[in-house]
């Protein structure tokens, strides 16, 4: 029964979250770029245009994978969200290892993006796909260390326990740098700004360069849904998830997710993207050791004062 | 009913335009997109209108036709002062003065507005179905005949080698950078890739995203960019786009036009600073003797935008050329380097090297994986689609099966 309610809430969360993400993603960059009053109708109009555009077939594409890539990406976003609790005991897929489920969604996202770039059988999408694998792999390693740091105080890998363990103090206080590293993962997993190595302007759209019409729309929908999911996971792991006074837990989670989402969209437009080799060395030699240190710090803190 | 609701919404969408920029039109076109009603598509696949602006070379026409056919339906072409003969069939034509220096600035502004109105009208007609989509200009057939031996087109050792449909199969080879041997892939990129200088056509050999060799096939088309503040801002905007900062790029373009919507330049340069744009460019990248590296050229543009006078460069040494600067760089580094030069310097760097004429006839065997080309220089244009499969410009999809709407 609780699962059924949670599943309905999941649908509600997804639709509200997606609509919000589409609006924020459509309007915030336009506003930052100097338009005083960007139109809220624009994302819908864009979607209508893409739906009426022909779907192009390139020469000898891998048609099956091409079709499956956005589907897989979207599915991973939804599965990742399904292990997030909307209230005490209110979770669609109750799992004692929620972090592991989410971690596998992260890892498989690399596969989905690679499939998408591979299938067009063209050089620019393929370069985007290769590059993304190179950057996303260490980025996701990083996120797992950060998440383990969040799981240590709860002594559990389940998201419900992680939230309950934050009743005294939110994880963002315990490891603020962890939140920042996890936001970087959020940018990488939803292909944004400084971590968008798959679909950037310097590759004329990268994995989407040879995709048109409804396929572009499907890819955009999957990306935005993943943005919602990763924001919800961040809010759950660091901002206390559904915890909060007065309002129902579901609403609190939605509000916190919205906050993270705006931060992610903003950050995606604020920071420059390094060439991939430079980014790789930053991740492997600076950020990964940093995440080890933070894990160590949380462990020592719990040993001494836990 | 449902369809007409969809069409109504689609008509409200910003007009997605793919532009092929000809001689002297680049800066003007970039300012054209300062309007929220339009988006500049990164790829012909994302566009509904093909805008061809300015004079084109004879040899570019075939590429324009190919680009046209790469666009999804519904599509329409607008020629703006473009002299392309009958190459684009009976496309829409817009005439007005091209040369800003020849006419009053206000008149140029009026004519830009007229182009915008025309583009918007074309999109309205297209979205509502009043105007029918343009048919293909080229036949949907392979540009070269099947030349493979095996069932998958391989013509060499084992599963590899050979040139099915005139395109070389990728083969492993030594790598310049880290010794990780990957497949070599030779393709032509340009002349209308949005992140390339307009008109520049390069034949590059890549391993992964590392450039192994570069040959200039066609130099960039000359542009009227000077070294004044607006021109510097537009150059800066191009670099910001490549750095993944389209929002700041757009702000720089707005500032280049001036007017009420533009932000103060100090604010822009502070935002660029906080974005880490300078740090994102590796030190020493694309260094040219007497001309600094990409990072100093970028910093110089930022300071020009801030009202400082541009640094004086002592001039290029004779040996400097793209074919020696780009190899060894990753793709995104190469894009930064390409966009960091002013027009004059770039055209010197991208000059066609004497003695390379032989290569242009397709008799170049230095990499061992080059295409087979049986024709003379004229024949070559027809063949150039090989390899450039995704290069959005010289590439052919003649093997595609038409797709479905």
Query: How does pLDDT run across B325-339, given as a tens digit for each residue?
Result: 899 899 999 999 999
Note whether A204 contacts B193, CB cutoff 8 Å.
Answer: yes
Q: Which range (A146-155, A263-272, A296-305, B91-100) has the least confidence?
A: B91-100
Q: How far is B402 from chain A (nearest CA, A)?
A: 7
pLDDT of A221 reads 95
Note whether B389 contacts A53, CB cutoff 8 Å.
Answer: no
> Where do runs of H (alpha helix) occur along B75-217?
105-128
Q: How far is B123 from chain A (nearest CA, A)?
A: 11
pLDDT average, residue stretch A66-87: 93
Q: How far is A38 from chain B (nearest CA, A)?
A: 8
- What domains, with CATH codes, occur in chain B? 2-128 (3.40.50.12280), 229-341 (no CATH)
| C-alpha of B338 from chain center | 11
pLDDT of A89 reads 82
B chain contacts of residue A51, beta-carbon cutoff 8 Å: 6, 10
Nearest to A33 among B7, B42, B247 (CB): B247
The residues facing B76 across adjacent strands are B49
% of chain B residues with pLDDT over 70 = 72
Q: How far is A289 from chain B (nearest CA, A)?
A: 21
Nearest to B389 among A44, A122, A196 (CB): A122
Checking if the pLDDT of B164 tops 70, the result is no
Is the minimum CB–CB distance between B45 and chain A shorter than 8 Å?
A: yes
Note whether A272 contacts B275, CB cutoff 8 Å.
Answer: yes
pLDDT of B384 reads 35
Reported as a pLDDT band with limits 50, 70 and 90, residue B387 is very low
Provide DSSP, A19-50.
HHHHHHHHHHHHHHTT-SS--TTHHHHHHHHH
Buried b (16+ CB within 10 A) or exposed e, B342-353: bbebbbbbbeee
B chain contacts of residue A192, beta-carbon cutoff 8 Å: none
A chain contacts of residue B251, beta-carbon cutoff 8 Å: 33-34
Residues 6 or more apart whose Cβ sits within 8 Å of residue A29 = A265, A269, B246, B247
Give per-residue pLDDT as tens, A136-166.
999 999 999 999 988 888 888 999 999 988 8
pLDDT of A68 reads 94
| Greater pLDDT, B280 or B148 | B280
Long-range contacts of B103-109 (CB under 8 A, 24+ apart): B108/B28
A chain contacts of residue B274, beta-carbon cutoff 8 Å: 270
Number of Cβ atoms within 10 Å of the Cβ of B319: 8
Number of Cβ atoms within 10 Å of the Cβ of B228: 11
pLDDT of B105 reads 57
Q: Which range (A199-208, B312-321, B390-399) has the least confidence?
A: B390-399
pLDDT of A99 reads 92
> Where do runs of H (alpha helix) occur along B319-405?
322-325, 331-339, 343-349, 357-360, 377-383
| C-alpha of B213 from chain center | 19
Which DSSP letter does residue B312 get?
P
| Greater pLDDT, B372 or A187 | A187
Q: How far is CA B276 from CA A194, A271, B244, B245, B357, in A?
A: 10, 6, 11, 10, 43
pLDDT average, residue stretch B291-311: 82
Checking if the pLDDT of A31 tops 80, the result is yes
pLDDT of B193 reads 92
Are A31 and A38 contacting, i.e. CB atoms less than 8 angstroms apart? Answer: yes
pLDDT of B144 reads 67
**In chain B, which residue's Cα lies nearest the Cα of A44?**
B9
Most confident option among A31-35, A76-80, B115-119, B277-281 = A76-80
Report the alpha-carbon distance of residue B318 to residue B321 in Å, rounded. 8
Are A131 and A279 contacting, i.e. CB atoms less than 8 angstroms apart? Answer: no
Nearest to B209 among A49, A127, A196 (CB): A127
Torsion of CA B365, B367, B369, B372, to 10 degrees: -20
**In chain B, which residue's Cα lies nearest the Cα of A265?**
B247
Checking if the pLDDT of A104 tops 60, the result is yes
Note whether A276 contacts B262, CB cutoff 8 Å.
Answer: no
pLDDT of B29 reads 87
Note whether A53 contacts B48, CB cutoff 8 Å.
Answer: yes
Domain limits of chain A? Answer: 2-305
Note whether A58 contacts B400, CB cutoff 8 Å.
Answer: yes
Q: Is the preceding omega at residue B74 within 30 degrees of 0, hence cis? A: yes
Note whether B73 contacts A53, CB cutoff 8 Å.
Answer: yes
Report the alpha-carbon distance of residue A46 to residue A24 in Å, rounded. 14
Give per-residue pLDDT as tens, B85-104.
777 777 777 776 545 444 55
B chain contacts of residue A41, beta-carbon cutoff 8 Å: 9, 12
Nearest to A123 among B73, B389, B398 (CB): B389
Which of A11, A9, A27, A5 is closest to A261 using CA atoms? A27
A chain contacts of residue B185, beta-carbon cutoff 8 Å: 123
pLDDT of B143 reads 66
Report the alpha-carbon distance of residue B45 to residue A212 in Å, rounded. 5
Between CA B235 and CA B241, with CA B240 as vertex, the angle to 5 degrees is: 100
B chain contacts of residue A36, beta-carbon cutoff 8 Å: 261
Nearest to B335 among A54, A202, A216 (CB): A202
Residues 6 or more apart whose Cβ sits within 8 Å of residue A169 = none
**ipTM of the complex, rounded to two decimals:** 0.90
Give per-residue pLDDT as tens, B18-74.
999 988 888 888 888 888 888 999 999 999 999 998 888 888 888 898 899 899 989
Checking if the pLDDT of B166 tops 50, the result is yes
Q: Which range (A9-18, A40-49, B94-103, B382-391) has the least confidence?
A: B382-391
Give per-residue pLDDT as tens, A194-223.
999 999 988 998 899 999 989 999 999 999
Nearest to B45 among A30, A56, A202 (CB): A56
Nearest to A274 among B7, B12, B280 (CB): B280
Note whether A193 contacts B187, CB cutoff 8 Å.
Answer: no
Are B202 and B214 contacting, i.e. CB atoms less than 8 angstroms apart? Answer: yes
Provide DSSP, A156-224.
SSSHHHHHHTTTTS-HHHH-HHHHHHHHHHHHHHTT-GGG--SS-GGGTTGGGTT--THHHHHHHHHHH
Q: How far is B374 from chain A (nearest CA, A)?
A: 23
Reported as a pLDDT band with limits 50, 70 and 90, residue B175 is confident
Is the minimum CB–CB distance between B36 and chain A shorter than 8 Å?
A: yes
Sign of CA dihedral B62, B63, B64, B67: positive
Nearest to A34 among B251, B388, B395 (CB): B251
Which DSSP letter does residue A287 get?
I
Q: Give the number of beta-carbon pairs within 8 Å between A and B.
A: 202
In angstroms and rounded to an integer, the radius of gyration of the C-alpha atoms of chain A is 19
Which DSSP letter does residue B59 get?
G
Is the minimum CB–CB distance between B46 and chain A shorter than 8 Å?
A: yes
pLDDT of B2 reads 65
**In chain A, which residue's Cα lies nearest the Cα of B274?**
A271
């Amino acid at each position: 029964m609780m699962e059924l309610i949670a599943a309905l809430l999941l649908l509600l969360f997804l639709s509200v979250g997606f609509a919000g993400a589409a609006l924020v993603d459509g309007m915030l960059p336009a506003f930052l770029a100097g338009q005083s009053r960007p139109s809220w109708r624009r994302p819908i109009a864009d979607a209508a245009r893409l739906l009426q555009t022909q779907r192009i077939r390139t020469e000898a594409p891998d048609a099956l994978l091409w079709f499956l890539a956005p589907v897989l990406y979207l599915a991973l976003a939804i599965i990742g969200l399904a292990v997030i609790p909307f209230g005490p005991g209110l979770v669609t897929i109750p799992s004692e290892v929620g972090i592991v489920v989410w971690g596998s969604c992260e890892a498989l996202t690399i596969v989905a993006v690679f499939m998408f770039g591979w299938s067009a059988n063209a050089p620019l999408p393929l370069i985007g796909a290769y590059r993304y694998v190179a950057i996303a792999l260490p980025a996701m390693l990083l996120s797992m260390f950060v998440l383990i740091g969040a799981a240590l105080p709860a002594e559990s890998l389940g998201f419900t326990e992680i939230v309950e363990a934050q009743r005294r103090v939110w994880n963002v206080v315990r490891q603020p740098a962890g939140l920042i590293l996890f936001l970087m993962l959020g940018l990488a997993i939803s292909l944004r700004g400084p971590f968008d190595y798959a679909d950037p302007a310097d590759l004329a759209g990268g994995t989407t360069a040879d995709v048109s019409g409804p396929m572009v729309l499907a890819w955009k929908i999957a990306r935005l849904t993943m943005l919602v999911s990763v924001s919800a996971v961040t809010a759950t792991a660091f901002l206390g998830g559904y915890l909060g006074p007065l309002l129902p837990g579901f609403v609190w989670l939605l509000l916190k997710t919205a906050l993270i989402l705006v931060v992610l969209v903003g950050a995606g437009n604020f920071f420059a993207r390094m060439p991939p080799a430079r980014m790789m060395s930053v991740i492997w030699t600076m950020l990964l050791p940093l995440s080890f240190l933070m894990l160590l710090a949380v462990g020592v803190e719990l040993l001494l004062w836990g | 009913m449902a369809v007409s609701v969809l069409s109504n919404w689609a008509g409200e969408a910003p007009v997605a335009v793919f532009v092929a920029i000809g001689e002297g039109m680049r800066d003007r076109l970039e300012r054209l997109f300062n309007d929220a009603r339009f988006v500049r598509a990164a790829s012909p696949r994302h566009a509904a209108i093909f805008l061809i602006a300015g004079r084109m070379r004879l040899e570019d026409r075939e590429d324009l036709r190919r680009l046209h056919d790469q666009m999804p339906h519904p599509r329409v072409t607008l020629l703006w002062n473009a002299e392309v003969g009958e190459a684009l069939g009976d496309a829409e034509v817009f005439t007005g003065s091209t040369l800003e220096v020849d006419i009053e600035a206000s008149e140029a502004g009026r004519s830009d507005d007229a182009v915008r109105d025309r583009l918007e009208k074309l999109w309205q007609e297209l979205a509502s179905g009043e105007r029918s989509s343009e048919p293909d200009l080229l036949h949907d057939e392979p540009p070269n005949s099947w030349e493979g031996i095996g069932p998958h087109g391989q013509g060499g050792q084992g599963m590899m080698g050979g040139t099915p449909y005139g395109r070389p199969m990728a083969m492993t080879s030594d790598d310049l950078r880290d010794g990780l041997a990957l497949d070599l892939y030779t393709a032509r990129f340009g002349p209308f890739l949005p992140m390339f200088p307009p008109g520049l056509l390069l034949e590059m050999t890549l391993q992964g995203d590392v450039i192994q060799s570069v040959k200039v096939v066609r130099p960039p088309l000359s542009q009227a960019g000077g070294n004044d503040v607006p021109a510097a801002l537009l150059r800066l905007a191009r670099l910001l786009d490549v750095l993944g900062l389209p929002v700041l790029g757009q702000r720089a373009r707005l500032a280049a036009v001036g007017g009420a919507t533009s932000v103060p330049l100090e604010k822009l340069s502070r935002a660029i600073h906080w974005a880490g744009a300078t740090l994102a460019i590796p030190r020493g990248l694309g260094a040219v003797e007497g001309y600094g590296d990409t990072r100093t050229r970028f910093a110089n543009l930022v300071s020009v935008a801030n009202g400082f006078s541009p640094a004086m460069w002592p001039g290029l040494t004779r040996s400097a050329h793209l074919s020696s600067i780009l190899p060894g760089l990753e793709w995104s580094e190469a894009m930064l380097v390409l966009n960091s030069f002013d027009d004059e310097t770039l055209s010197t760097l991208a000059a066609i090297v004497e003695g390379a004429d032989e290569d242009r006839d397709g008799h170049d065997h230095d990499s061992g994986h080059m295409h087979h080309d049986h024709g003379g220089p004229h024949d070559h244009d027809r063949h150039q689609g090989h390899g450039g499969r995704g290069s959005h410009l010289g590439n052919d999809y003649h093997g595609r099966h038409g797709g479905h709407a």
